[in-house]
Structure formats: C-alpha cells, structure tokens
Amino acid sequence: MFASLVSRRRSPLPGLGLTLGVTLLFVTLIVLLPLIGLGWQFARLGASDYLRVMGDPRVLASLRVTISAAAAATLVNAAGGLLLAWVITRYRFAGRGVLDALIDLPFALPTSVAGIALVALYAKDGWIGGLLAPFGLTPAYTWWGIVIAMAFTSIPFAVRAIQPLIEELDAAEEAAARTLGASDGQIFARVILPHLMPGILTGTGLSFVRSLGEFGAVIFIAGNLPFKTEIASLLIMIRLDEFDYPAAAAIAGTMLLLSLALLIAINIAQTRLYRRFEQGA
Amino acid sequence: MSFVVQDIAKTFGGQKVLESVSLSVEKGEFVALLGPSGSGKTTLLNIIAGLTQPDGGRLEIDGEDITRLPSGARRFGMVFQSYALFRHMTVADNIAFGLRVLPRAQRPGRAARAEKVKALLELVEMPELGNRYPAQLSGGQRQRVAMARALAIDPRLLLLDEPFSALDAKVRQSLRSSVRSLQKKVGVSAILVTHDQAEAWALADRVAVMNRGRIEQFDTPEMLRGAPATSFVADFLGIDMLER
Amino acid sequence: MSLRQRLLIGLAVLFALIAIVAPVAAILTRAFGDGLGAWWSAIVEPETLHAIWLTVLTALIVLPINIVFGIAAAWAIARFRFPGRRALLILIEIPFAVSPVIAGLCFLLIYGAYGPVGAPLMNEGIQLMFNLTGIVLVSLFVTCPFVMREVLPVLQVTGEDEEKAALTLGANGWQIFRHVTLPNILWALVHGAILATARAMGEFGAVSVVSGAVRGQTMTLPLQVELLYNDYNTTGAFAAATVLTALALVTLMLRSAIAAVHPEAGGRT
C-alpha cells in the first residue's frame, strides 16, 4: 500500500503538462498578477504616506464602523446560526427541506438586490421598519442597518459550518451524561457545545471576514454618512473615484491583511481544537 | 511468445522496492508472483503493465524491448484488484472499450465489436448480462467482466492483480478454476499477483516467491515445496503447511 | 414532539422568515406593486434589457473558461504530485477571501491605465479596464474556485484505477477523459458551473469597480439595479431585481435537485 501511495508521484496518466500549464496561466493572469498589483502599490507607499492615509480620522472612523458592525453581525449569526443548524439537523418537521435550501439564499442573491430589499424592509415605510417606528427605532440609514445587511449576507457561513458537527454528534455521549444525572441545560453546555466549538469558531470567523468586506448589501441601507455610517469598502471606492490610488491601496491592503490574518488564525485554532478532541477520544 | 523481465530495479523515496528482479514467462504459461505485502510484487506487476516506470532493467516480449513503451501500446490485458470497471458503462460497453479507443484505421466496426463482445460474454458464461451495469452484478460476475474486458484486446500477456481478494471464499474456489480454464482456452500467458499460496498452487505452472524486492525462488510448485532454496521460502511455505 | 422542540422550530422558522424570506417577499411586492404591466414595461426598458444582455454575455464568456480551468486544475492537483502543489491550491482558493471591492481594486492597479501591465498595453491601444474585458476578468477572479472545488473531491475519491484500466486498454489521454473521467465528475462539474454562473451574473462590488459604469453600455444587471434605485426609479430597480432573484432561486432549486439525485456531487457551500 505504501508503494502504491508513493507511485502516484510519477503517475502513468497523461496530461500533467497540459493541465498544469492551463492552470498556471490562468492563476497567474487572474489571481497572482492582480494580487501583486495591490501588493506592489501597497509596498510603494512609504511609511509616512501610509500613516497619513490611515491616520485620517475619516478612515479610522470607517474602520471602526466596519469592524464594530461586523462584530455585532457575527454575534447575531453565532446565535441564529446555531439555532438554525440545530433545528434543521435535529428535528424533522414539514418544510424542513425548504428551510435548509433557503439558508443559502443570501449566497445566491446578488448583493445589490439584497441591499435594496433590506432598505425596503427596514425603512420607516417598510414592513419591519414600520413596526419599529412607533418605538422610535429606525434601523435603516444607521449603524444598525449595516449590522442587518452584514448579518444577512453572512448567515449561511455560520449555519453551514456548524451543521456537519451536529450531524456527527455521538448520541451515546448525551445518553451517558443523562444517566449521570445531567440536566438538559448541562448536557448542552458541557457535552454538546464543546463538540460544536470548532464549527462555531469557523462559522463565526468566516462570517466576520465576509462582513468586513461586504459592500453591495450595506451601501443601500447604511446612509453612508462619513464618520458615522461609512464602511471601509465604500471609502476605498470613494478614494478610487478621486483617483487617489495610493490611499485606496493603503486601506484595501490593510483590510486584506487583516482578513488573511484572521483566516489563518481560524485555520490554526480549528486544527488545534480538532486535534484535542481526537487525542481525547 | 516469450516474455522476459531482466534486472528490474525500482526505488521509491530512497527505499528500494525492487532490486534486480529477473523472470521469464513461456508461451501459454501461468506464472504467479507470491509474497507477503511489501515484497514488491504489485510494483513489479505495475512496471510490467507500464503503469510505473522502472529505474533500471529491461522488459522484452519476443525479443522486442518494451521497457519504455507506453502502457496502452503494450497490449497487456490487466485485471485490477478492484476490477476498476467503468461504472457508468454497461457490461458490453466495458468489454468493448479497448476496441472503441483504437485508432480509426484499426478499429473494428460496430457489428464486429458487438460480435466480439458476444463471444467474450459467452466465454465468461454470462451471455445474458451485456446490458447490465457493474453495480447490478455480483462480485464474481464483476471479476469475469474484468477478465473479458482484458481479453477483448487480444492481449499478448494477461496480468492479474489479486483478482480474487474481493470475493468470498466459496466464489473464490469456483472462479479459480474458471480463470485457469479461460487462460488455457485462449492460450494467453498470464502473470498473477497474490499473497495466497493456495491460489498460487491452484493456478500457476511456476511460482516466483518474492521477499523485500527480490525473487527468492522461481520454480514449479512441486519443486518449491520439495526443495525450498532459502530459509525465507521454507518459512513462508512452512507456516502455510501447518495451517493446513 | 415536545414543547421545547416546537418552540425551537418556531424560533428558527421565525428567524428565517424575518432574515431570509422577508427580503425576497419585499422585492416581489415592490416589483409587482404597480401591476404586472408596470413590471413588464420596466423590464423591457432598453437600458435594463441591455444590462440583462451584458450579464448573460459575461456569464457566457466566463463559464467555458472557468470549466476548462477548473477541470485542468482539479486534474493536475488530484492526479499528480509536483512542487508547489499546496501553494497552488491556496492560490486558487484566495479569491474567496478577498472582498469584492478589493478584488476590483487589485485588477485596476495591475491592468488599469496606470498599472504595470495595463499601461504598456494602453500605449498599444488595448484597454483592459472599464469595459467588457474588465468585467470578464474580475468575474473570472470571483468565480475561479467554484468548479475546481466541486470537481477535486470527486476526482480524489473516484481514484485512478478506472483511468489506469483505460490506459492499459490502449486509450489515449483525451479518450480517458472523455469516456472515463468526465462521466464520473459530470454532476460535480455541473454543480460547480451553476454556482459559478450565479456568482458571475450576480457579482456587484468587484464589477462596479472596473465596469466604468457607462449608462446603457457597461452596466450589468446588479449595477443597473443600483443605478435605477439611485434614480428613484423604485419600480424599475425592483423589477430588475426580480430577474436576479429568480436566478438565485433557480440556482438553489437546481442545487437541491442535483443533491437529491447525485448526493456525491452536491457538496455544501
């Protein structure tokens, strides 16, 4: 078996040259060069230029708005995602299949469509905005609107990351806890939740990264007031329209590095969590 | 037809898997490569089939050097351990595959292919099952389809990689004799890879006992049992004698 | 069913209704609020029709390139070991980690009139950004992982025995692909192609950076939705949105259908 595993190194199958050639050509033109484009512009900025762009109070405010709204949206999704994943996986009820399929709708729906739909819902004359208006609450054109848009576009990440772990839960562990006298709440908190942690971590992490970069769905509902409801992606767009490419690259490079760092951290944390369970088992 | 393996060597990642292995197969002869797992027998078969390139040595068929010939050009029919039947093709299409992929000039027409498939289905005693898919067959039937598919290209050599290992003991017994009689009927030389001595004794004219990338002894079953050349051969066979 | 189960199901359904169903319902009521006739005349506005055409055209160009690339990449990665294989895999997945506006910016910085690749080409009279080429290029970027991602796992589990068998039977590379590999990966390929198409037709942020936003010329349908909305043409915007919503719903239905018939091909997002 060892031999057959290693023999794949020099596979007798044809096509390596052709397929690898096509792949490298495509990846170079479509992925690598554009990333180099950003990296090149980013690297050309001197430290002082970079600090000047990033030190701009408007930029700092946009980062604060983006990150805080993304964090809030992620919290909503952690709870909502866990609930949806649990109900879809554990219970059998009419409409379950439809519910399961609907989870991916925010992925499939173009973000500009989501954007105008959310405004229509949460503006003062919208179905939900109208319900909230008597209480003096109007989510549209505020920070809350941004949170709603971010939560909408990233909810599938949370659900889909948690779902497989719920499917894999070992019913025997729950039964064992029950025979030992644990209450339902204790079983959930002490037996089930720890098993779901890798999924919750991945799901919320991906949801957060997606929220940081969300643009289309947010700009319609945000109001886009500088210092208050202006997200970083929009500010990049504004700098581009002003032909201030270095400033756009500085903000974009910072956001991209932040996202990549987060994704790498999630990856590492997840591997560690899984390893702990495997060794413990 | 005579087939010669000469000084074949193969190293994987610094580990010698085959060391100067030599072997010959006479016309119509049935040879078994017998040995424990890791002895190199499957690698040797893959090299013979052209699926793995040797680091050194030579393969010859009727004096023609085929060491660097691509697998498909060797015209060696191979029966894989997992049978590797094409799951999306009917039994008949599986058997006809080797004919269908021939260059246009050599490719038999539709009628000729159908004729050949029919003959092969009769040969493996499943004339009614040409329209079935592999998933609808029993393990034994699958193995016979794999045989028919390998025979369809009029192979110069038939290669069998543990062809009975996926079957239960009962089916295994009856298929053994049918494989042997098929091979005799077609008159093709065959090389079988197995770790099961009973299988080697039942099928092979000569058996090469392999250990750690080398052939310890290459002889008839009677000679192997009567006069084991090395202590490994004696041990390897002796254990089996006690079990029986 | 226990009370708690009913309660949790009720909560989940309510959450999904508010979070996911209500927005779609809002689109439909706004689009059809003034009657079917108003909806239809909004759709057949020349600008909107042109946007639909441009969106379809983009998908028609992007899809074949994506399929060829996706299969080639999956084949190379699944069937061969070569140095840099892992790095290649990461590079192909990176577009999922780059947000839309930043993706568009990357293209502008390299292929734009001031970019290291774009500037020399511009001198030759070849413009890559702010036109259909730009839209196609960023669409290729945002959809690049889809096909490869669906096909690769199927190639890995189907293994290469069948392909080796075909090889010993004398098949050449194209014959092996056409008769043995393609039938095995077909549904995963279709699945990936559907996802890539939906994404290519729906992409907003990245396309809006590089499209140049020329009215009636470089506006894809998602951009047209924004344009109409900012023009206070609400019916027009929501009518255009219904087309994209229908596309999203069809995508989901096709996915569910494929997952039901060919579970091995219906990987999750």
Number of separate domains in chain A: 2
Residues A28 and A87 in one domain: no
Residue numbers of the domain that contains A93? 46-280
Q: Cα C126 to chain center, whole Å?
A: 27
pLDDT at A7 over 50: no
Stretch 205-264 of chain C: residues touching chain A, C-beta under 8 Å: 205, 208-209, 221-223, 225-226, 229, 237-238, 241, 244-245, 247-249, 251-253, 255-256
Domain holding A114: CATH number? 1.10.3720.10
Residues A37 and A50 in one domain: no
Residues A147 and A21 in one domain: no
Gap from A85 CA to chain C (nearest CA, Å): 9
CB contact under 8 A, B52 and A7: yes
pLDDT band, very low/low/confident/very high, at A278 (cuts 50, 70, 90)? low
Q: Between 3.30.365.10, 1.10.3720.10, 3.40.50.2300, 3.10.20.30, what CATH number should domain C35-265 receive?
A: 1.10.3720.10
Token match 């690749």: residue?
Answer: C117
Residues A15 and A34 in one domain: yes
Gap from A104 CA to chain C (nearest CA, Å): 7
pLDDT band, very low/low/confident/very high, at A185 (cuts 50, 70, 90)? confident
Residues A34 and A99 in one domain: no
B104 is a domain residue: no
Q: Do residues B66 and B157 lie in contact, with contact meaning Cβ atoms separated by under 8 Å?
A: no
Q: Do residues A68 and A228 lie in contact, with contact meaning Cβ atoms separated by under 8 Å?
A: no
A231 is a domain residue: yes
Residues A30 and A155 in one domain: no
C-alpha to C-alpha distances, A29 to B154, C69, C140, nearest whole angstrom: 48, 12, 10
pLDDT in tens, A91-149: 999 989 899 989 999 999 999 999 999 999 999 989 999 899 889 888 999 999 999 99
The enclosing H or E element of A149 equals: helix A143-168
Q: Which of A1, A2, A7 sits opposite B46 (nearest CB)?
A: A7
B117 is a domain residue: no
Where are the strands (E) in chain C, listed by range?
none
pLDDT at B85 over 70: yes
Residues A146 and A204 in one domain: yes
**pLDDT at position A279, please?**
53
CB contact under 8 A, A23 and C73: yes
Gap from A16 CA to chain B (nearest CA, Å): 15
Residues A66 and A17 in one domain: no
Name the residue of chain A whose CA is nearest to C241's CA.
A113
C-alpha to C-alpha distances, A161 to A77, A81, A207, nearest whole angstrom: 12, 9, 10
ipTM: 0.92
Q: Which of C236, C202, C198 is nearest to C221 (CA)?
A: C202
Residues A30 and A136 in one domain: no
pLDDT at B239 over 60: no
Residues of B in contact with C161 (CB under 8 A): 80, 82, 84
In sequence order, what DSSP letters do the residues of A237-278 get, joined into one string? HHHHHTT-HHHHHHHHHHHHHHHHHHHHHHHHHHHHHHHHHH
Burial code (b: 16+ CB inside 10 Å, e: under 16) for C97-134 equals bbbbbbbbbbbbbbbbeebebbeeebeeeebbbbebeb
Gap from B70 CA to chain C (nearest CA, Å): 9
**pLDDT at position A4, please?**
40
Question: What's the whole-number mean pLDDT along residues A21-38?
Answer: 97
In sequence order, what DSSP letters do the residues of C12-63 get, joined into one string? HHHHHIIIIIHHHHHHHHHHHTT-HHHHHHHHTSHHHHHHHHHHHHHHHHHH
Number of separate domains in chain B: 1
Selected residue of C157, C163, C168 to mutate for chain B interface (largest B Cβ count, 10 A) = C168
Residues A198 and A76 in one domain: yes
Name the residue of chain B whose CA is nearest to A12's CA.
B51
Gap from A123 CA to chain C (nearest CA, Å): 12
Residues A237 and A103 in one domain: yes
Where are the strands (E) in chain B, listed by range?
3-12, 15-25, 30-34, 56-61, 64-65, 76-79, 157-161, 190-194, 206-211, 214-219
DSSP code at position C265: G
Name the residue of chain B whose CA is nearest to C186's CA.
B88
pLDDT in tens, A47-91: 999 999 999 999 999 999 999 999 999 999 999 999 999 999 999
* Residue predicted with more confidence, C28 or A171: C28
B26 is a domain residue: yes
Q: Which of C15, C110, C245 sits opposite A113 (nearest CB)?
A: C245
CB contact under 8 A, B38 and A3: yes
Q: Cα C123 to chain center, whole Å?
A: 32
A164: number of Cβ within 10 Å: 12
Amino acid at C239: A
Q: Which of B13, B42, B71 sits opposite A4 (nearest CB)?
A: B42
Residues of C in contact with A111 (CB under 8 A): 100, 202, 204-205, 222
C5 touches chain B (CB under 8 A): no
Residues of C in contact with A248 (CB under 8 A): 105
**pLDDT at position C50, please?**
96
Which segment of B17-26, B60-69, B165-174, B197-206 scores lowest on mean pLDDT? Answer: B165-174
**pLDDT at position B166, please?**
83
A110 is a domain residue: yes
**Domain residues of chain C, as ranges?**
1-32, 35-265
Per-residue pLDDT tens, chain C, 269 aa: give them.
Answer: 788 889 999 999 999 999 899 999 999 999 998 899 999 999 999 999 999 999 999 999 999 999 999 999 999 999 999 999 999 999 999 999 999 999 999 999 999 999 999 999 999 999 999 999 999 999 999 999 999 999 999 999 887 899 999 999 999 999 999 999 999 999 999 999 999 999 999 999 999 999 988 888 899 999 999 999 999 999 999 999 999 999 999 999 998 899 888 877 655 44
pLDDT in tens, A200-253: 999 999 999 999 999 999 999 998 999 999 999 999 999 999 999 999 999 999
DSSP code at position C194: H
Gap from C46 CA to chain A (nearest CA, Å): 20
Residues A67 and A21 in one domain: no
pLDDT at B242 over 50: no
What ranges in B164-244 are assigned the alpha helix state H?
169-186, 197-203, 221-226, 231-243
Domain holding B21: CATH number? 3.40.50.300
Stretch 8-47 of chain A: residues touching chain B, C-beta under 8 Å: 9-10, 12
Residue numbers of the domain that contains B48? 3-75+155-243
